[in-house]
Amino acid sequence: MLRENVRFYTNLDPVGRTMFEMRVQRFISTKRITGVDTEIDDKIRLLVASSAIIPTFAFPSFTYPNVNEVLVYPGAFNKNFETHHDAKGNILGMVGNRFMQGIVILSKPDLLKAFDGKAHTFNVGVHEFVHLIDCLDGATDGVPEMLIDHPYAIPWLSEVKKEMNKIKHNNSDINPYALTNDAEFLAVASEYFFDSPEKFAMKHPELYEYMSKIFHQGLVQENNDET
Ligand SMILES: [Zn+2]
């Protein structure tokens, strides 16, 4: 199932794949994954766990202390957690706060769309888990302390501002939802970075370099020097 659906896994070497499998197993055995008005099977559990492991793959001992349960919804939902399929502005995933602390919600069809084995620039699962990494230091601000050392925060944020300007002027293929704030920028750019690293590296070389450092990942093989 991983081979067929999860490109990040397919691109790993055999040692990396074994590591990934172990991390996914640990996630599944320590977090509750619950379907809400929808059936979930091993594939869904695997895709939820993969979403969590992809952005933290370089941090083998990291276990999401702030996550207890992932709720899988039958579709996109609104702010009252009612599922609906029509109108725009639907929520595909979210991280709970206050009474929803420790809970992540993901839309099943959007999770399946993100992991159909093809390259995309979106991935609702990776998006939400990046928020969870970001909020660990107490602030969901696009500067997760676990990933960005203090001296690098300012250069990173100035890179973010530069790209936001390009998005505003239609000179970027990054989803304009990234303009919402620095935290959304990080989550949206991470979806693209992990789902289509080759394209991201080509179109956004500077961001790619920063994000490779942030996530301790060189996702694109450096086997040709021509650019
Ligand atoms: Zn978000």
Work out the angle at residue 157's Cα, subtended by the Cα atoms of residues 59 and 169, and round it to the nearest 5 degrees.
120
pTM of this prediction exceeds 0.85:
yes
* Centre of ligand 1 from the C-alpha of residue 189, in Å: 11
Residues 6 or more apart from 67 whose CB is under 8 A from it?
31, 52, 102, 103, 104, 132
* Centre of ligand 1 from the C-alpha of residue 121, in Å: 14
Cβ burial of 142 (10 Å; 0-12, 13-18, 19+) is buried
* Centre of ligand 1 from the C-alpha of residue 183, in Å: 7
* Centre of ligand 1 from the C-alpha of residue 115, in Å: 18
pLDDT (0 to 100) of residue 226: 44
Q: What is the pLDDT of residues 137-189, one digit of tens each?
A: 999 999 999 999 888 899 999 999 999 999 999 999 999 999 999 999 999 99
* Centre of ligand 1 from the C-alpha of residue 187, in Å: 6
Partners of 94 in the beta sheet? 105
- The CA–CA distances, whole Å, from 7 to 47, 91, 116, 148 equal 11, 24, 9, 25
Neighbours of ion ligand 1 (CB under 5 A): 184, 187
Q: What is the pLDDT of residues 54-91, one digit of tens each?
A: 999 999 999 999 999 999 999 988 877 777 655 556 88
* Centre of ligand 1 from the C-alpha of residue 38, in Å: 23
The amino acid occupying position 206 is E
pLDDT (0 to 100) of residue 81: 78
